[in-house]
Amino acid sequence: MQLAAMGAELTLIARREGPLRDAAAKLTGAKAVHVLPLDISDEAAVNSRVADHLGAHPANMLINNAGIATPGRFLEQDTSEVRSHMNINFFGMVHMTKAVVPHLIERGGGHIANVGSLLSVMGIYGYTAYAASKFAMQGFSECLRGELKPHGIRVTMLLPPDTDTPQHAAELEIMPRETKAIAGSVKMLTAESVARSLLVGMASNRFEVIPGLDGRMTVLAQRLVPGLVRYVCDSKQQSVS
C-alpha cells in the first residue's frame, strides 16, 4: 500500500488469484497493479512465469515476503512441517531471487529485500522449523549481498519482531504455552510500521533493518551476550512448564 501511494508499478504474487485481486483492488495511487498467481515453492513454474512476466513488465525491486509459520514442539511435529517451511520460506525466496536477478543485472541494478524475523538470528522454544528457515535466509542474504554488489544490486534483510497480522493471530491458536511466555515480553508492531521501516531502510541502502527499539535491543543482546538471552528465555519457559 505504501509503494502504491508512491506511484510504483506493482506485481503481487501468491498462490490464489482471488485474494490477489482483492488486495490489488485496495491499492490506490499505483502506476499499475498486476497479479501473478504462482506457487513460489515450484521452481519450474517460477522460472517460466516470472521470466515471461518480466518481459512484459520490467522491474527494479523484489521483496520476498511470502512465508509460513507453524509453531509447535519439535517432537510433536511431523518432519513434513520442516520441509514446508524450508520449501516456502527459504527455497521460495531462492527461486524468486534466481529468476529476477539476471533481469536486474541486465537493467543495470536494483534491489532485493528478504523478509526474515528476529528468529533469523536467534531461536526460541517452539519454532524449530520456522527459525531454521529464517536462519537460512539470513545466511543466504549475507552471501548474496557481497555477490550482487558489483552488479549494482543492493540486498536488504528485514528482521521484524512479532507483527500484528492474520498469520500471527493464527500462530497464537497453536503456540505452545512456553513459547507464549517468551514471546509475550516482546512488543508487537503494526504491519504498517514494519513496512515503513523496510522501505526507509532500503532507501538508505542498509543491509539489515530491525524495526522497533525492542527488536534492536534483542538482536544486540543476542549478539553480545547470547548466554544471558538464553537464560532469560529458559527462565520464562520454565515458569509455565
Structural domain includes residue 15: no
Question: Which H helix or E strand runs over 153?
Answer: strand 153-158
Contact yes or no for 169/163 (Cβ under 8 A): no
- For residue 186, pLDDT over 80 is answered with no
Confidence (pLDDT) at 183:
85
The single residue of 125, 127, 130, 231 carrying the catalytic annotation is: 130
Q: Across-strand partners of 207?
A: none
- For residue 187, pLDDT over 90 is answered with no
Structural domain includes residue 85: yes
- For residue 235, pLDDT over 90 is answered with yes
Find the CATH number of the domain harbouring 120: 3.40.50.720
Cell of 124: 526460541
In this predicted model, what pLDDT tens digit does every residue of 104-163 receive, in sequence order? 999 999 999 999 999 999 999 999 999 999 999 999 999 999 999 999 999 999 999 999
Based on the residue annotation, tell me whether 127 is a catalytic residue of this protein: no
Range of the domain at 80: 38-238
| 215 confidence band (pLDDT: 50, 70, 90) | very high
Structural domain includes residue 157: yes
Which of 82, 81, 140, 132 is closest to 112 using CA atoms? 140
Question: Can you say how many angstroms the Cα of residue 199 is from the centroid of all Cα atoms in its chain?
Answer: 14
Structural domain includes residue 229: yes
Q: Is the pTM of this model over 0.85?
A: yes
Structural domain includes residue 111: yes
Structural domain includes residue 6: no
Structural domain includes residue 24: no
In total, how many domains does the chain have?
1
> Whats the size of the chain, residue-wise?
241
Which of 226, 151, 156, 146 is closest to 194 using CA atoms? 156
CA gap 236, 214 in Å, rounded? 17
Confidence (pLDDT) at 23:
96
Structural domain includes residue 146: yes
Confidence (pLDDT) at 185:
62
